[in-house]
Amino acid sequence: MKVLKFGGTSVGSAERMKGVAKLIADGQQKVVVLSAMSGTTNSLVEISDYLYKKNPEGANEIINTLELKYKKHIEELFSTEEYKQKTAELVKSVFDYIRSFTKDIFTLFEEKVILAQGEIISTNMMTNYLCEQGIKTTLLPALEFMRTDKNCEPDVTYIREKLTALLNDNQGYDIYITQGFICRNAYGEIDNLQRGGSDYSASLIGAAINASEIQIWTDIDGMHDNDPRLVEKTSPVRHLHFDEAAELAYFGAKILHPTCIQPAKYANIPVHLLNTMEPTAPGTLISNDTEKSKIKAVAAKDNITAIRIKSSRMLLAHGFLRKVFEIFESYQTPIDMVCTSEVGVSMSIDNTKHLNEILNDLKKYGTVTVDYNMCIVCVVGDLEWENVGFEAKALDAMREIPVRMISFGGSNYNISFLVREEDKIRALQSLSNQLFNA
Ligand code: ADP
Ligand code: ASP
Ligand code: MG
């Protein structure tokens, strides 16, 4: 069985939902994972923000606007009174539920419940629409099988057992719809897999049922060799290794969430990125196969801060790096890039929540300098060290651009450059010209 995930953009209007329904109703049995309609999760976050700030009027205004939008969607989507009414009742009960949180104390717990409602609405709408079309469809509630453990990691055994049982109890349907993003935590409370987490849901579900393929449907034509919003002349990439896709997903190519890679990779299930607007286009296939001697793509990640610590005591000393890394660890701040020399080490981070504390602690061990508003530009492809020429080509493209750090050799698939944010587009364009359009 295949697992197909449609993102918020793909179910963003009644028209789009009809398109998805046409696409999935091909007679083949499948699990379909849906995001909330685009913009909805952001609105639910806004509602929660108002409620945290004890501003129920502000919250109610957004709730009312959002509810009106859904009334319109229902009018456009359904053709029979029966299904219009059935869906309108469901949507009304969801909005009444959301409104009930405007009257009481508001905590993280209530916020998680509110954030879950977007996917609950979209999946009910799609299920009802498919049923109205006479397609054998049922809704498998994610809250009954998707679960995280005490470390907030997916509880893979629980997910497999519960989902298998649910599918067994619901045999004979062509389409099983479920919610992306939402889950329960180890205590049974409603939770989620973080923003953009529907891709993760699809991958976990694919691994749990040993799917033949996981399809991620979005509104553009697969991964591109560079960011089409920033750079001229980009082309889709047809095939990527899981590790290449992981580097790209993490370093900015937002069409796939980085967490989605690992479950599919270990279960050896190919992930296929496809375009809802052009369903017959080949898209991008991600698998455990490597295309030899090819540079695949370039991506960039903004809002990076570079920190350098220089210490004469580092010379011939051991344990210095451990001390430095421990400081970042104690503030739960991940390090992205690292470059070392005999007298210093440079690191980059994207989470600056504890930057001041980190800098104060680092200053005990040496002279610290910081560069703000930096950007990681990463080149992804078959960059095994024994292949010659690729590093030179990438470096040559950076000829005119001030480079703060270079990282190569961390994996077989990546060279990263740290540059100023203002040089990002120039760097991306120059790499594109040198690597793909020469
Ligand atoms: P979905 O609803 O399918 O999950 P999102 O709205 O969450 O999609 O975000 C994906 C969108 O981000 C795409 O529509 C695309 O236009 C845009 N996007 C972000 N980064 C990139 C990139 N590197 N290349 C192409 N498109 C990108
Ligand atoms: N709806 C959630 C979000 O917007 C999850 C997702 O779309 O992947 O973050
Ligand atoms: Mg998304």
Question: In 191-278, where does DSSP find H-type helix?
Answer: 198-208, 242-250, 261-267
Indicate the residue type of 351.
N
Amino acid identity, position 192? N
CA of 196 to the centre of ligand 3 (A): 5
Q: Are 116 and 151 in contact, with CB atoms under 8 Å apart?
A: no
List beta partners, residue 4: 32, 215
**Predicted pLDDT at 319:** 83
Residue of 35, 46, 48 to test ligand 2 pocket, by largest number of atoms within 8 Å of CB: 35
Average per-residue pLDDT in the chain?
A: 95
Residue of 373, 155, 396, 174 lying closest to 295 (CA atoms): 396
Q: Indicate whether this model's pTM tops 0.85.
A: yes
As residues whose CB is below 5 A from the ion ligand 3, the structure lists 7, 196
SS3 381: strand
Q: What is the pLDDT of residues 385-431, one digit of tens each?
A: 898 888 899 999 999 999 999 999 999 999 999 999 999 999 999 99
**Ligand with smallest separation from the Cα of 182:** 2
258 alpha carbon to ligand 3 midpoint, in Å?
Answer: 12
344 ligand 2 Cβ < 6 A: no
Which of 54-68, 113-127, 142-156, 243-257 shows the lowest mean pLDDT across its residues? Answer: 243-257
315 pLDDT above the threshold of 60: no
Tokens representing 337 are 């890039």
Distance 434 CA to ligand 3 centre (A): 31
Question: Which of 23, 14, 4, 3 has the alpha carbon at shortest distance from 277?
Answer: 23
- Please report which confidence band the pLDDT of residue 316 belongs to, taking 50, 70 and 90 as the band edges: low
Mean pLDDT of 323-334: 95
d(CA 281, CA 410): 34
- Whether the per-residue pLDDT at 314 is higher than 80: the answer is no
**Binding site membership of 181 for ligand 2 (Cβ less than 6 Å):** yes
- Nearest atom in ligand 1 to the alpha carbon of residue 199 is 4
Buried b (16+ CB within 10 A) or exposed e, 288-297: eebeeeebbb
Q: What is the pLDDT of residue 114?
A: 98
At 169-203, the pLDDT tens digits run: 999 999 999 999 999 999 999 999 999 999 999 99
Residues with CB under 6 A from ligand 1: 7-10, 35, 38, 196, 218-220, 224, 227-228, 252-255
Query: At residue 372, what is the residue type?
Result: Y
- Token pair of 22, please? 């046409």
Main-chain phi, psi angles of 34, to 5 degrees: -120, 145
**Cα 311 to averaged position of ligand 2 atoms, centre (Å):** 44
Closest-CA residue, ligand 1 atom 23, reads: 253
Quote the ligand 2 centre to 41 CA distance (angstroms). Answer: 6
Which residue's CA lies nearest to atom 9 of ligand 1? 255
Q: Establish whether residue 263 lines the binding site of ligand 2, counting it when its CB lies within 6 angstroms of any ligand atom.
A: no
Q: How many CB atoms lie within 10 A of CB 81?
A: 8
The 10s digit of each residue's pLDDT in 337-354 is 999 988 899 999 999 999
12 lines ligand 2 (CB under 6 A): no
| pLDDT for the residue numbered 312 | 67
DSSP states along 408-435: ESSSTTEEEEEEEGGGHHHHHHHHHHHH
Residues 6+ apart with CB under 8 A from 199: 5, 7, 180, 216, 256, 257, 259, 260
